[in-house]
């Protein structure tokens, strides 16, 4: 089946340069720095003929498009496909691919399930698990940090936090790859991800049923909202699916990228060990510096204007969050990883009504790991080449051989 990528061919709006680039070229996805800089240099928008889309990468306009849900809707998909023209590969998410008012009621339930109070109750267990894992890795010395730390940690605590009876590591990780590669064009990355569907999707869908959810986790709160009549039973299952879609690949990436930042910036690791109050700001800087979700789309639902550029109703806009997060006009010396920067306003977790609803959970998970590292690890070194794994929406490591020297 061929896919309509981006949009019905629109004309490039007046004043917008045409840029013959493929943002989904694996070489760009693996090492996007130059592409980010070139996109910003083109102006507020560039027109990309290969997909008939506009792309934006300056902080100001990216933020404007990304957060104005009234003009730039999510219900037509946050990937290249326009759900008004084509059916999505799976039933559309009732949070990330929805607009108010429907979005609001669904998001409210997820926000309650992952409230600060709910996350606080998990912190002790998260820390115990992180301490144990980091002790083990220090004892091993050299290890593969993507598989043995970045993937191993969330998969060891997330299924329980949701209330899943079974935690199938491969299914959880591979479903993330499907969801995020699914946001791109019909390229090899998306095709390979979709080919995993028959092995993965039935398991995922099964875990979303009430009978598969144990009490004591986010899932219980979600189904309680169905009992209260706030949402229906099917919607409750869909919200559990959202947790499984967005809750694994993202935190895996956050942990891997944190270790990479510290391994490649030993002076910054020293500062962090000297001043543990920098733990939270350091993670925000990892988010800014690496942008785990590198881009998401919006669709103009009205004729409008941004930065003096006319945008026609129906235009897909690729919001390149990684480019916005490395915009020098917003962050002086943006190319430097600085644990004390406190990068307020980065877009790594979005902003506005669709801003990451699991961010308390993400910060608790990565915080527990970082805390264990600064308490137990004296030195972090690369033990081989870091390799990035191209993905249509995620900027993540594939391989990260690392050596931990204990304190
Ligand atoms: C979802 C979801 C939520 C956030 C991100 C995401 C596309 C999916 O609700 O399924 O990635």
Q: What is the pLDDT of residues 137-168, one digit of tens each?
A: 999 999 999 999 999 999 999 999 999 998 89
CA 376 – ligand 1 centroid, Å:
34
* Backbone region of residue 405 per phi and psi (left: phi > 0; alpha: psi in -120 to 50; beta: other values): beta
Tokens linked to 140: 């091993």
- Of 1-15, 81-95, 252-266, which range is least confident? 1-15
What pLDDT, on a 0 to 100 scale, did the predictor assign at position 2?
58
What pLDDT, on a 0 to 100 scale, did the predictor assign at position 181?
98
208 lines ligand 1 (CB under 6 A): no
**Where does the pLDDT of residue 5 fall: very low under 50, low under 70, confident under 90, or very high at 90 and above?**
low
In the chain, the domains with their CATH numbers are 3-406 (1.10.630.10)
What value does the mean pLDDT of the chain take?
A: 96
Give yes or no for residue 223 having a pLDDT over 90: yes
* Mean pLDDT along residues 2-31: 86
Calpha distance 383→100 (Å, rounded): 48
E-strand stretches of 58-161:
72-73, 142-144
CA 284 – ligand 1 centroid, Å:
21
179 lines ligand 1 (CB under 6 A): yes
293: CB partners within 8 A, 6+ apart: 180, 250, 321, 348, 349, 350, 393, 394, 395
Calpha distance 49→32 (Å, rounded): 19
- Name the residue at shortest CA distance from atom 1 of ligand 1: 242
Give yes or no for residue 224 having a pLDDT over 50: yes
265 lines ligand 1 (CB under 6 A): no
Q: By three-state DSSP, how is residue 128 classified? A: helix
Q: Which atom of ligand 1 is nearest to the CA of 356?
A: 4
Is the dihedral angle over the CA atoms 162, 165, 170, 175 positive or is it negative?
A: negative
246 lines ligand 1 (CB under 6 A): yes
Query: Among 94, 95, 177, which residue has the most ligand 1 atoms within 8 Å of its CB, making it the best to mutate?
Result: 95
- Name the residue at shortest CA distance from atom 4 of ligand 1: 246
Report the candidate in 110, 124, 147, 113 with the shortest Cα–Cα distance to residue 367. Answer: 124
91: CB partners within 8 A, 6+ apart: 238
113 lines ligand 1 (CB under 6 A): no
250 lines ligand 1 (CB under 6 A): no
145: CB partners within 8 A, 6+ apart: 256, 259, 260, 397, 400, 401, 402
- Name the residue at shortest CA distance from atom 11 of ligand 1: 246
Tally of CA atoms within 13 A in the half-sphere of 316 that contains its CB: 30
Tokens linked to 273: 């060990």
Is the dihedral angle over the CA atoms 274, 277, 281, 282 positive or is it negative?
A: positive
CA 361 – ligand 1 centroid, Å:
15
* Mean pLDDT along residues 230-236: 98
Tally of CA atoms within 13 A in the half-sphere of 203 that contains its CB: 19
What pLDDT, on a 0 to 100 scale, did the predictor assign at position 10?
74
Give yes or no for residue 201 having a pLDDT over 90: yes
Calpha distance 299→261 (Å, rounded): 34
Task: Please give the model's pTM, rounded to 2 decimal places.
Answer: 0.97
Report the candidate in 156, 27, 176, 147 with the shortest Cα–Cα distance to residue 399. Answer: 147
Percent of the chain past pLDDT 90, that is, above it, reads 97
Calpha distance 147→126 (Å, rounded): 18
CA 21 – ligand 1 centroid, Å:
26
Query: Among 246, 295, 348, 350, which residue has the most ligand 1 atoms within 8 Å of its CB, making it the best to mutate?
Result: 246
95 lines ligand 1 (CB under 6 A): yes
Tell me the sheet residues that pair with 297: 318
Report the candidate in 382, 361, 383, 376 with the shortest Cα–Cα distance to residue 130. Answer: 376
What pLDDT, on a 0 to 100 scale, did the predictor assign at position 173?
96
* Segment 83-122, tens digit of pLDDT: 999 999 999 999 999 999 999 999 999 999 999 999 999 9
What pLDDT, on a 0 to 100 scale, did the predictor assign at position 11?
82
Give yes or no for residue 1 having a pLDDT over 50: no
93 lines ligand 1 (CB under 6 A): yes
Give yes or no for residue 7 having a pLDDT over 90: no
94 lines ligand 1 (CB under 6 A): no
């Amino acid at each position: 089946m061929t896919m309509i990528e981006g949009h019905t061919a629109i004309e490039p709006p007046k004043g917008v340069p045409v840029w013959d680039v493929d943002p989904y070229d694996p070489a760009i996805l693996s090492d996007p720095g130059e592409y980010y800089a070139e996109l910003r240099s083109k102006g507020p928008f560039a027109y990309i003929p290969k997909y008939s889309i506009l792309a934006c990468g300056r902080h100001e306009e990216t933020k404007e498009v990304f957060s104005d849900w009234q003009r730039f809707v999510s219900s037509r998909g946050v990937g290249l496909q326009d759900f008004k023209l084509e059916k999505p590969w799976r039933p559309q998410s009732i949070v990330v691919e929805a607009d108010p008012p429907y979005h609001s009621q669904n998001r409210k339930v997820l926000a309650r399930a992952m409230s600060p109070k709910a996350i606080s109750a998990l912190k002790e267990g998260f820390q115990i698990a992180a301490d144990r894992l980091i002790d083990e890795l220090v004892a091993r010395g050299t290890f593969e940090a993507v598989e043995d730390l970045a993937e191993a940690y969330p998969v060891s605590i997330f299924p329980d936090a949701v209330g899943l009876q079974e935690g199938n590591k491969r299914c959880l990780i591979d479903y993330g790859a499907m969801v995020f590669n699914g946001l791109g064009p019909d390229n090899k990355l998306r095709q390979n991800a979709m080919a995993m569907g028959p092995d993965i999707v039935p398991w995922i869908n099964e875990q979303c049923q009430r009978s598969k959810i144990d009490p004591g986790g986010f899932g219980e709160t979600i189904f309680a909202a169905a009992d209260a009549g706030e949402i229906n039973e099917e919607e409750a299952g869909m919200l559990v699916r959202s947790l499984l879609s967005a809750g694994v690949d993202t935190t895996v990436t956050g942990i891997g990228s944190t270790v990479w930042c510290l391994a490649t910036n030993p002076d910054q690791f020293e500062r962090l060990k000297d001043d543990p109050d920098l733990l939270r700001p350091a993670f925000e800087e990892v988010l800014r510096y690496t942008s785990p979700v590198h881009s998401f789309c919006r669709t103009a639902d009205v004729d409008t204007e941004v930065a003096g550029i006319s945008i026609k109703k129906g235009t897909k806009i690729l919001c390149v969050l990684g480019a916005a997060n490395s915009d020098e006009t917003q962050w002086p010396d943006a190319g430097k990883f600085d644990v004390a920067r406190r990068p307020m306003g980065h877009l790594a977790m979005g902003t506005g009504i669709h801003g990451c609803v699991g961010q308390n959970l993400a910060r608790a998970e990565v915080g527990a790991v970082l805390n264990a590292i600064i308490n137990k690890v004296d030195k972090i070194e690369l033990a081989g080449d870091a390799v990035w794994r191209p993905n249509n929406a995620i900027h993540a490591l594939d391989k990260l051989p690392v050596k931990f020297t204990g304190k």
